[in-house]
Amino acid sequence: MTPDRYSHVESRKKEGAHYTPTIIADFISQRILADVKLGEKVQIADPAVGDGELLVSLISALKRRSMNHIEVHAFDTNEKALNITRERLKQLHSDVPIEIHHKDFLQVCLERETFLGEMDASIPSFDIIIANPPYIRTQVLGADQAKLLSQNFGLKGRLDVYQAFLVAMKSVMKPNGVAGVIVSNRFMTTKGAGEFRKTLYDEYSIKGIWDFGDTKVFDAAVLPAVMVMGVNSSSRNDSVPFSSIYFYEKELNKKNLPHVSNQIEALSFSGLVTNPKSAYMVKHGHLTFDSKSSDIWRLQDEKSEKWLGKVDAKTWCRFKDIGKIRVGVKTTADNVFIRTNWEKEVGYIPELVEPLVTHLVAARFKCNDNEKKSILYTHHVVNGKRSVYDIEKFPITKKYLESKKEQLSSRKYIAKAKRLWYEIWVPQNPALWGTDKVIFRDITEQPTFWLDLDGSIVNGDCYWMIRENEAMPEDILWLLLAVANSGFIEEFYDLKFQNKLYSNKRRFITQYVEQFPVPDPNREESKEIVKLTKERYHENDKSKHMQLEQNIDQLIWSIFDVPHIEKILKD
């Protein structure tokens, strides 16, 4: 499938390899053996063996259980990695036979069945598969390879190579076999991985999930989770154990908390624990999702679910009920269409230039004082439909675009889609730009939502929404703005989605924000919130901003009537 996947060993992004730390290798080996039933002979495999750390750990764990009849198969497209593994096992477990396969595991799975319908005897079925498959996302993998993976392994949406590995493993597992894998925790919460979540849930009996979040188990910026899975014969995955561990950044009294030396030791506790450098928040519960297995996966524990249940009871509607959340425009040629100062950089201003909001003006409630960029926007609305401007009617615009025609015409996907050579690729709906809109950044530590009343176009580095549901009050966006910027929504996010990036940052993307709760706008507290939010927006004295935000926050907490997370932890 991907014969050149490891052609540049030194390039982690190309290779997708993040070699496994010993502490995680030992943990996953122990979790596998807690859930597998073994006979006298054990056949094990690592489909992307890397430096062999997982196999070293698993063999050691099997031997501690007096399992000495072990057969090992190691797969990798990186010959150097295979040689390292062979030498390591020779030194540490010389009595264990190892079959080295300098092959792509995905291709092996596809070709295992011969043209006679028989199974290739050189590749057995395995009792245990242990894996840290490579992470290679679609944009690195390439469209053609991504299409092949989709077709051959039934994957849909935005995919990563590791997803194909997890789907393929089932074809080489014994009926009672167990797989232990290290994966990116992103698949549990991203919208594009919905079908992949459903496939895992349907095809495997999930024995457990351990989300190590932002605790830096790996040197690279990987947010890993461990999953142990068996072939699904009758299990309905009704009560899948789920644990998570994340850094806890807020100030706290460490004297009365358990002290641990690492993340694995921390999993023996629940709640807050400390180590010499930091504190961890540890949760234990079960896997849950809203209505179907393709929905966002999250950890359900009694305290969190009770808190969220109280919020639901006070929720009048969700953000998605007010309007669709959209990403901004994508030109695919920003150096042509977007400028900070057209007069200075180009010498003139084309007729179709419009103000553009980017993350550079992001601020809470109202955009900051940074100068907005401008975009040459090629679309408008004709008879209710989006249309492209005829540049023959705009001589300055025509002059500029024709000076860039070579670059713009090289965008082959534009021609393939039968679009005009000078169009921006994703213009969104031109009719909506003149409407008041809430705009927000994607990755931030603190939510950053602001209101645009100037009819600006929004760039693709931000999200935005308008009041599309005409049944909603006219000033509903002010209420949304208050909720979205509140301390309450930070805690709602942490309990509902349980997904933080490094440095305590959160991702404010469609599938999260659309679920934010909105209180009843007819309540007196809501009306006061709208009044205060308008004051905060129009107040130019920055020294007054904090007090206004605190007043807004207190009212929001009072409406939803739930305690702060710290209170939950102490109870």
With a cut of 70, say whether residue 443 has pLDDT above it.
yes
Q: Are 137 and 202 part of one and the same domain?
A: yes
> Above pLDDT 90, what percent of the chain?
65
Domain CATH code at residue 54: 3.40.50.150
Overall number of domains in the chain: 3
Q: Do the bridges between strand 279-288 and strand 69-75 make them parallel or antiparallel, or are there none, so unpaired?
A: unpaired
Q: What angle do CA 193, 194, 195 make, to 5 degrees?
A: 95
pLDDT (mean) for 470-497: 95
Contact 512, 493 (CB under 8 A): yes
Q: Are 56 and 124 part of one and the same domain?
A: yes
Structure tokens at 455: 């009819």
Q: Are 536 and 397 part of one and the same domain?
A: no
- Other residues' Cβ atoms within 10 Å of the Cβ of residue 524: 8
**Torsion-angle region of residue 16: left (phi > 0), alpha (psi -120 to 50) or beta?**
left
What is the C-alpha separation between 134 and 379, in angstroms, rounded? Answer: 41
With a cut of 80, say whether residue 501 has pLDDT above it.
no
262 is a domain residue: no
Question: Considering 233, 258, 281, which residue would you say is the last residue of a domain?
Answer: 233
Angle between helix axes 79-92 and 53-64 (nearest 10 degrees) is 30
Q: Are 407 and 540 part of one and the same domain?
A: no
Higher pLDDT, 104 or 338: 338
Structure tokens at 535: 């004051």
90 is a domain residue: yes
pLDDT (mean) for 263-282: 89
Q: For 211-253, give the secondary structure using H, E and C.
A: ECCCCCCCCCCCCEEEEEEEECCCCCCCCCEEEEEEECCCCCC
> What pLDDT, on a 0 to 100 scale, did the predictor assign at position 116?
42
72 is a domain residue: yes
151 is a domain residue: yes
How do residues 8-53 score in pLDDT, each as one tens digit? 233 333 444 456 789 999 999 999 999 888 988 999 999 999 889 9
CA distances from 28 to 55, 84, 163, 165, 486 (A): 11, 21, 18, 17, 39
Q: Are 426 and 559 part of one and the same domain?
A: no
Whole-prediction pTM: 0.78
> Above pLDDT 70, what percent of the chain?
88
Q: Are 337 and 396 part of one and the same domain?
A: yes
Q: Are 472 and 398 part of one and the same domain?
A: no
What average pLDDT does the structure give for the chain? Answer: 88
445 is a domain residue: no
Question: Considering 233, 257, 287, which residue would you say is the last residue of a domain?
Answer: 233
521 is a domain residue: yes
306 is a domain residue: no
269 is a domain residue: no
Higher pLDDT, 163 or 485: 485
Q: Are 407 and 482 part of one and the same domain?
A: no
> What pLDDT, on a 0 to 100 scale, did the predictor assign at position 305?
87
With the C-alpha atoms ordered 225, 230, 235, 241, is the resulting torsion angle positive or negative? Answer: negative
pLDDT (mean) for 393-421: 96
Question: Considering 206, 233, 260, which residue would you say is the last residue of a domain?
Answer: 233
Q: Are 213 and 95 part of one and the same domain?
A: yes
What is the residue whose two structure tokens read 């007729």?
351
Q: Are 422 and 503 part of one and the same domain?
A: no
What is the C-alpha separation between 349 and 206, in angstroms, rounded? Answer: 59
Q: Domain range spanning residue 374? A: 329-438
> What pLDDT, on a 0 to 100 scale, did the predictor assign at position 13?
35
Q: Are 411 and 555 part of one and the same domain?
A: no
Q: Are 381 and 528 part of one and the same domain?
A: no
Angle between helix axes 476-484 and 524-538 (nearest 10 degrees) is 80
